[in-house]
Structure formats: structure tokens, C-alpha cells
Structure 1
């Protein structure tokens, strides 16, 4: 594992958002949803592709809090311009479980 400095960590904008829409993304190479995530009044709503179809139905994602990286450059994923990177962990079967706060926190709150 590579060691990073505190300054390196401070550069990563990990923020909390609430999923407001989750739609199938049939154009993706691997099964995925297009998520629209609200990061609060200042940061707004951003789109992302998330390969979480193995553990989550689209309708159960709406309303969930998630942690995402907001300061990566936008990335073209098929017809979608992804505006953030939703974080998660692979389980033993290779499916992605979302990284989420375990309590309500303000939208846009930064992980420190």
C-alpha cells in the first residue's frame, strides 16, 4: 500500500449526497444505473454511472445517502457525462455495496 500525505488526502472532495433518481443504463458495458445525486444547494445535482445493480433495485436507491468524489474531472461513459464518482466496496461475490454514512448528515458535507 502506498503512503500518501495529509495534503494528498485533503485534495479529495468526498461529499455526501442523496440519490434523487436512479434509472437503468442499458448503454453501459456492465450493468449499471444512472444516478442523479443532490449534494445540496451550493453543489447541486450531479449525474453518475454506478455498477450497483447486483445488490440494489433502482427504486430502493432513491432517497439513500451516498459518498462520492466530486473533484475528479467529468468522464464520458457511453452517452453519459459522469460528474462524480460514487464510492463503494466489492463484496465476496464482486458486487458493489455503496459507501454510506450511518446517520443523517447535511447534503454536501465533506468527509474529513
Structure 2
């Protein structure tokens, strides 16, 4: 494993946001959702696609807080402009378990 500096770590903007909408993404190569998240006043509302359909229903994601990387450049994923990276952990079956704060925090709060 490579080591990084503290400066490397602080350059990554890991922020908390609340899921506003979750829609099916039928054009995706692998099953995915299009997710819109409110990251607070400083960051605003951003959209991404995420391959998390195996473990999460759309309804259970609504209103949930998630952790996202908000300072990657936007990336075009088919017809969707992905504006942040939803973070998570792979299970042994390569499904994604999303990273969430343990308790509610303000939207836009930065992971320290």
C-alpha cells in the first residue's frame, strides 16, 4: 500500500449530502440508479450514477445521508453527467455498501 501525505488526504473533498431523488438508469451497461444529492449551500445539488441496485431499493435511499467525493471533475456516463462519486465498500460478492455518517450531520459537512 502506498502512503500519502496529510496534504494529499485534505485535497479530497469527502462531503455529506442527503439523497433527494433516485431514478432508474436503463441506459447503463450495468444496473444503476441516477441519484441527486443535496450537499448544502457551499456545494449545492449534484447528480451521479451509481451501481448500487443489488443492495438498495430506490425508496430506502430517499432522505438518507451519504458520503461523496465532490471535487473530482464531472464525468459523462452515457446520458448522465456524473458530478460526484458516491463512496462505499465492496462486499465479497462485489456489491457496494454505501458509506454513511453514523449520525445525522449538516449537509456539506467535510469528513476529517
* TM-score normalised by L of structure 1: 0.98
Unaligned regions of 5+ residues in structure 1, if any? none
Q: CA deviation at 1:43?
A: 1.4
Equivalence map 1:22-101=2 (5 Å): 22-101=22-101
Distance across 1 between alignment mates of 2:19 and 2:56? 13
Structure 2 alignment gaps of length 5 or more: none
Bigger shift: 77-86 or 39-48? 39-48
Shift of 1:42: 2.2
Residue 5 of structure 1 deviates from its aligned partner by: 0.4
1:11-38 Cα deviation digits (max 9, x unpaired): 0000000000000001111110000000
Secondary structure of the 2:34 match is strand
Deviation at 1:81, TM superposition (A): 0.4
Paired positions, count? 112
* Alignment RMSD (CA, Å): 0.6
Cα displacement (A) at 1:58: 0.7
Residue in 2 aligned with 1:15? 15
